[in-house]
Structure 1
């Protein structure tokens, strides 16, 4: 059943009396070329187990099942149960789990390593991605369709307006790449923004050495809390760490970072060096 067509998608939604919920970010792909490209660029093969987040009516799920050994589709909207039973009926390697991707333990759903491939609802993009990376799930690769401006933030270099906490979080845990852009007119309903498909290859080790990952991200978050402030002011006034100005000054001078610079000018490596020095001084 080829459902990635405007007429078929509309017919399925009408027949199952489904009204799409804006609050769940439900925008369904209606272009087979885009779907095939996602699966191909994720390098899905007959040895892979794939978890899909938000299968919707199952258009991407079908394509994944044709290439993968097993697909586990995690869907929060139980209203889609009947339509998924219909669209996925001919496949014997798909399991649909009705649960919240922000809470489910992905490692409990499959054995061994797995890939995650999804057309993500935009409203949960950042919390889902960071949860997958921070909680140490057994995922080897993530291929997501996300809002284009979010994709640009993920791969941003220091110095620009797109560079921030998300950039550092993604680049600390993965090698990130924007694979291709997707226009609004290949969805029902059409979103108001362009999308991008992003590949995140999960690193076995972070590219920088930090004494404490938790403390490192506290420093990063504090640095970007007020983007217009200098790194000196941001850190010395951060409520989540309680650092004295003298300690911040000593740390910045010690690692040769100009106290007048803003957080967006600091590289991942500089943040790592700075957080290690502050940690050392803070715990004396």
Structure 2
């Protein structure tokens, strides 16, 4: 076997598990519903299972790939498509503003995200929410359940609050390990994230909100009174319509915004 035809060696450090089921690929494309005039971005194309169907529809597909060994094969296989624009870079640090063609351009982001970077990558993408129409991602099922969890559930946490603050979240469907090469040890799921252009609850300081949510969940078994000691008094918490004896996992996004605004206001005094 020549070097040219040698199959790609899947790299654990990049969390590479590539889709191999045409039916699932078509199901994902149907969920995305790409249109010719839309600007799509794919993160982690792998062996282009999803990339090729998208290239056949849209006029612009920016592709983000970190693995040097995939750049040549992707270019060779797909470089003839007019929509093909490949960026050999790290999706975690990439400035997605670079992709915007003009002030009216908006991105639709898709990808089969590596499990080991999914959360930090989602937080990175939230910075560009006002220029992103929606995002469709394959993630570990457990992560999708955490993102879409409701207050009071065991999976509700910081990731739930911060992504639900920024986006409408929708669990679309589950994808089993048998649909990947190599098969992962866990189920995956497809999620749709639609960034709010006008948030239902808008924090005075999103930085303070992020810090306060992190602190509130720092010790999940402890109450807000304990976790927010030195941040807010019992009176402060009660003034927000929240009981100091509550745990963070029982609070809504609106509750956290109210607490964060109170914390911001105290800092401004």
Q: Normalising by structure 1, what TM-score?
A: 0.89
Alignment match of 1:129 (pick from 117, 122, 133): 122
Greater Cα offset, 248-257 or 221-230: 248-257
- Give the one of 233, 244, 252 matched to 1:248: 233
Question: Matches of 2:202 and 2:44 in 1, distance apart?
Answer: 35
Distance 2:233 2:114 in 1: 40
Change (3 A) 1:13 1:217: farther
Matched, 1:68 2:58: yes
Q: Within 5 A, what are the aligned runs for 1:105-120? A: 105-111=95-101, 112-120=105-113
Say if 2:217 is the partner of 1:224.
Answer: yes
Q: CA deviation at 1:90?
A: 4.1
Q: How many residues align?
A: 266
1:45-194 alignment, distance < 5 Å? 45-111=35-101, 112-136=105-129, 138-194=131-187
**C-alpha spacing 1:68/1:12, structure 2 compared with 1 (3 Å):** farther
Structure 1 residues 48 and 135 mapped into 2: Cα distance closer, same or farther (>3 Å)? closer
Unmatched 5+ stretches in structure 1 = 1-10, 237-241
Return the TM-score normalized by structure 2: 0.93
Q: What's the CA shift for 1:17?
A: 4.9
How many angstroms apart in 2 are the aligned matches of 1:50 and 1:154?
23
Alpha-carbon distance change, 12 to 32 in structure 1, aligned in 2, over 3 angstroms: farther
Name the CA shift for 1:256/1:136 in 2 (closer, same or farther; >3 Å). Answer: closer
Please give the alpha-carbon distance, in whole angstroms, between the structure 1 residues aligned to 2:227 and 2:24: 43
Look up the match of 2:31. 41
The 8 Å contact of residues 240 and 259 in structure 2, kept in 1 or not, is answered as: yes
Larger displacement relative to structure 2 (123-132 or 248-257): 248-257
Give the superposition deviation at 1:52.
Answer: 0.4
- Return 5+ residue gaps in structure 2 as ranges: none
SS of aligned partner of 1:104: coil
Confirm whether residue 26 of structure 1 aligns to residue 19 of structure 2.
no
Contact 2:54/2:61 (<8 A) preserved: yes
Give the conservation status (yes or no) of the 8 Å contact 1:52–1:74.
yes
Please provide the CA RMSD for this pair. 1.9
Write the deviation string for residues 53-74 of structure 1: whole angstroms up to 9, x where unpaired: 0111212110111121211111
